[in-house]
Structure 1
């Protein structure tokens, strides 16, 4: 037994389905062949959407409208607000739902160990070596050590800290340039 066509004033058998529209996925009208053709000819999934919404929908369609996140060294899974808020502020960017790193001092220790391993294999460029020398650091210095040393040297050589003495102004300029270079190559 085939249901009747849902088109107004039509009693023909409804042998075809037609989508009811956006935000009503998996819901269908039951139409006869003539009315399903007419409906499909006039159907516009994007009706009522702005150009930006249409572009966003089309872009997200490429990945099946699923969430994504960056991969690689600076990527990782997005953490839920509730889980990251339970962590110490230093660990707020880390996600260790299984507690694997807990016995080793938490995610920060694992991150430091990973940075150390990467620095062993990371080739040091001449400019990078010179910048680290300007800050008085070794090639295997961590990003935190670079930042700490930079702050200490700026405090020491800044004219405001020396009572207006401008004799170490060139050294200060060298320190700032070295730090800016290290930041520009991603040494964070």
Structure 2
């Protein structure tokens, strides 16, 4: 733009000083009693009034901050509880792996009915666990008629173990062997029955 342009005279540049003066006039006044300076600095109004501020000048905001105590009016116990809750953002917490319903709480309020349900469920589970450990087993071996007959031949019951069958077989062989009975035919016949019964139990996997 040329210096002799007709637009040159119409351009007006405001100085920084004039701008700052206008800013000062728009600022709210200091809210400190008896102070008429501009309140350019914000100070919190205190606990329970979050988001609300006073407007003070520099001198008075320093004085206000120096004497400010967020916990004013609270007991030591209340202060300790507040600091403890502040670690979790003042939200309710539970043990790992549990929730509000499991602990009988909802929205931070204890629910006695829910607590009773949890306690009853725990007691039932404990009783079932103890019962399964202490009650004797009622299991009975299912035998075929010929297996039961073979056990009776050896003078044994249905619950005879493998070792008991072998031991009884050896005892009966000694008792009914022909050499021990002077060649008695009845002993020979009994020995034959014992041998057949034992061999059958062995094939059935019981001896």
Would you call these one fold, judging by a TM-score over 0.5?
Answer: no
**TM-score of the two chains, using structure 2 as the length reference:** 0.41
Q: Which of the pair has more CA radius of gyration? A: 2
**TM-score of the two chains, using structure 1 as the length reference:** 0.44
